[in-house]
Amino acid sequence: PSVLDSFALLSGQLNTLNKVLKHEKTPLLRNQVIIPLVLSPDRDEEIMRQTEGRVPVFSHEVVPDHLRTKPDPEVEEQEKQLITDAARISPDVAQKQIQSLNKMCSNLLEKISKEERESESGGLRQNKQTFNPADTNALVAAVAFGKGLSNRRPPGSGGSVQSGQPGAGAIIAGASSMQQVPLSGAPAQQQPMLAGVQMAQAGQPGKL
């Protein structure tokens, strides 16, 4: 009987509470002030989850800041002073001050935007690459270590040309043909000398 009586009492109280909460004049609970009942310096994972990691503990140090509904007394005094000073200013003077403040703010914003544009353009100019690193590395490697250079020498650059090569035969044939061509207008006694010069040139097949 005692258990049944206690259950009936609890059931009646819950029904009354539900009627109060469902009444249209009852404000929403989310708009009510939270009163801390338990403060603990230990880390609370549930509070961490609900606050997305901003409040790790619910201690006496953080409660006054997170559950504050009014500003600090010093801030309240400053607000009262500002309200009193604002009430003393006439509407015309207030409008002039507003216009001057807006003008100063617009000028400041223009300067800031100009500085940002100049810094962005300067950064683009500095970041623009005017050379090819691969070509530079290849050139340095070729000059310093000879990397990529060919070991072959072009024909006729130093060394003697063998008579068996086609270039030497062409030179000798050209020299013999030049010996047989008579020079018009030249004296007969100069022709043997020219022939000797041509023979000397033919004897040196590496030079023309």
Q: pTM for the complete prediction?
A: 0.27
Confidence of residue 103 (pLDDT cuts 50, 70, 90): very high
Residue 156 has pLDDT above 80, yes or no: no
Q: What is the mean pLDDT of residues 89-108?
A: 93
The number of residues making up the chain comes to 208
Residue 208 has pLDDT above 60, yes or no: no
Residue 162 has pLDDT above 70, yes or no: no
Residue 139 has pLDDT above 80, yes or no: yes
Q: What percent of the chain has pLDDT over 70?
A: 69
Alpha-carbon torsion angle 152, 156, 162, 168, nearest 10: 140
The per-residue DSSP string of 114-174 comes to HHHHHHHHHHHHHH---S-HHHHHHHHHHHHH-TT---PPPTTSSSPPPTTSHHHHHHHHH
All structural domains of the chain with their residue ranges: 71-120
Q: What is the pLDDT of residue 204?
A: 53
Confidence of residue 142 (pLDDT cuts 50, 70, 90): confident
Q: What is the pLDDT of residue 153?
A: 65
Between the alpha carbon of residue 173 and those of residues 14, 35, 88, 91, 94, the distances in Å are 129, 119, 119, 115, 111
Q: What is the mean pLDDT of residues 22-41?
A: 80
Tell me which of 36 and 190 has the higher pLDDT.
36
Tell me which of 104 and 124 has the higher pLDDT.
104
Tell me which of 177 and 93 has the higher pLDDT.
93
Confidence of residue 155 (pLDDT cuts 50, 70, 90): low
Tell me which of 183 and 63 has the higher pLDDT.
63
Alpha-carbon gap, residue 181 to 17, rounded angstroms: 137
Tell me which of 31 and 92 has the higher pLDDT.
92
Between the alpha carbon of residue 105 and those of residues 110, 118, 135, 176, the distances in Å are 9, 20, 51, 98
Q: What is the pLDDT of residue 185?
A: 47
